[in-house]
Structure 1
Amino acid sequence: MPRMVGAAKRIPVPAELQSLELAPRHLSLLSHLLFDGPLTVNELAARLEVAPTTVSLMVGELSRKEILERHEDPADRRRRIVSITDGMRPAIEGWLARGATAWRKALAPLSPSERRLFVHTLRAYETAMLESLPRTDQAAR
């Protein structure tokens, strides 16, 4: 696991994103938008397993940096859809797609049941790590 994290950290941040002070929480949000397409704040919150208000704050921050944009949902004008701006998409895609490509290559030889077992194991690891944190750190998750 430390080697995987180390390899991911060695992927250089594109020059056009370096000054934007992106945090790990932003990378997860950007990954969902990149690979799942435009989503509502509630959909992002469900995928990230955080409160919609947390996602709304992140979207606002990234919108001010012109990384994300919000637009009206044509099916329901009350809802706002969040997407990556056209200007930032190539840099974000070039950066984050490397990890997705590596996962696809690593998982390709596995059967669907083996993939489910692998994902289940990673989630069990995450749960065990979170359970080992002091109570105050667990609440901050």
Structure 2
Amino acid sequence: MVTEPGPTLDDGVRELLLLMPRIVGRAKRTPPPPELDDVALAPRHLSLLAYLLFDGPMTVNELAGRLEIAPTTASLMVGDLSRQGVLERTEDPNDRRRTIVSIHEDKRPAVDAWLARGAKAWEEALRPLSPGERAMVIRTLKTFEQYGS
């Protein structure tokens, strides 16, 4: 197997230490669309909205599991975004004790447009990679998140 030449470990760490603040800065400078100007959105809300946008409505417990947070924390986030009109909670028709959370239809196009920018950037970055290389990038970023906090 022939491997492509690349940076040494130290050079790779240096490059990423210089790159990550620019990536984070760009993400922070990406304003929500005007339709969401009146909503107090924090970075923690992005993952929650992305799960609901890409995977559809789900319960608070399902959201908590995917976000890897406590159900009470997920419930607080859902309550906050529900009061601001971004999310809506409905009774599960199959089990009235459960509440289903979804993006409010009026806000869905704005949330979609906002998250689509990042999705397009990731598509461009990941497109030339093989499935195995994509998995390695994702694994690498997850490992960095785990040890970087």
Query: Normalization by structure 2: what TM-score?
Result: 0.81
Root-mean-square deviation (CA), in Å? Answer: 1.4
Residue ranges of structure 2 left out of the alignment (5+ in a row):
1-19
**Corresponding residue number in structure 1 for 2:105:** 86
Q: CA deviation at 1:80?
A: 1.3
Matched, 1:51 2:59: no
Matched, 1:98 2:142: no
Matched, 1:69 2:95: no
User: Separation in 2 of the partners of 1:71 and 1:41?
Assistant: 11
User: Separation in 1 of the partners of 2:127 and 2:62?
Assistant: 27
Q: CA deviation at 1:8?
A: 1.8
User: Separation in 2 of the partners of 1:31 and 1:83?
Assistant: 11
1:13 alignment partner, one of 32, 42, 46: 32
User: Separation in 1 of the partners of 2:130 and 2:97?
Assistant: 42
User: Separation in 2 of the partners of 1:84 and 1:67?
Assistant: 6
Please tell me whether Structure 1 or Structure 2 has the larger radius of gyration of its CA atoms. Answer: 2
Q: Percent identity?
A: 65
Q: CA deviation at 1:85?
A: 0.3
Query: Normalization by structure 1: what TM-score?
Result: 0.85
Q: CA deviation at 1:25?
A: 1.4
Residue ranges of structure 1 left out of the alignment (5+ in a row):
131-141
Q: CA deviation at 1:53?
A: 0.8
